[in-house]
Amino acid sequence: MALNQVGGFILAASLALIAHSGYSAVEHISFAKTTHAGASMPIDITAECLIGLLGSIFGVVLFAGDLREIKMDREMSTRSVDT
């Protein structure tokens, strides 16, 4: 599996984690409003959000593709003289 695709999977999974933590946060706030208890964000929602953020950082760096060297002789060595 190419590095591109691994990065794509990690990025997609991290975005899903962030979306899930967001939905859980909305549910928790509505729950805390009705029962008047536990007004702070639970630790597992915070942890899920931060793990999703870290995964998306490394996933997008892998997904964005290879950097290309700028020296012209390295670039030319990848192309052949014959067409």
Alpha-carbon distance of 78 to 7, in angstroms, equals: 25
| Residue 8 binding other proteins, by CB under 8 A | no
Site string for other proteins, 15-44 (x = CB under 8 A): x--x--xx--xx--xx--x-------x---
| Residue 47 binding other proteins, by CB under 8 A | no
Q: Of the candidates 4, 2, 5, 17, which has an alpha carbon nearest to the alpha carbon of residue 56?
A: 17
Q: Using CA atoms of 14, 19, 22, 26 in order, give the dihedral in degrees to the nearest 10.
A: -160
- CB closer to other proteins, 1 vs 39: 39
- CB closer to other proteins, 1 vs 33: 33
| Residue 49 binding other proteins, by CB under 8 A | yes
Alpha-carbon distance of 51 to 7, in angstroms, equals: 15
- CB closer to other proteins, 6 vs 64: 64
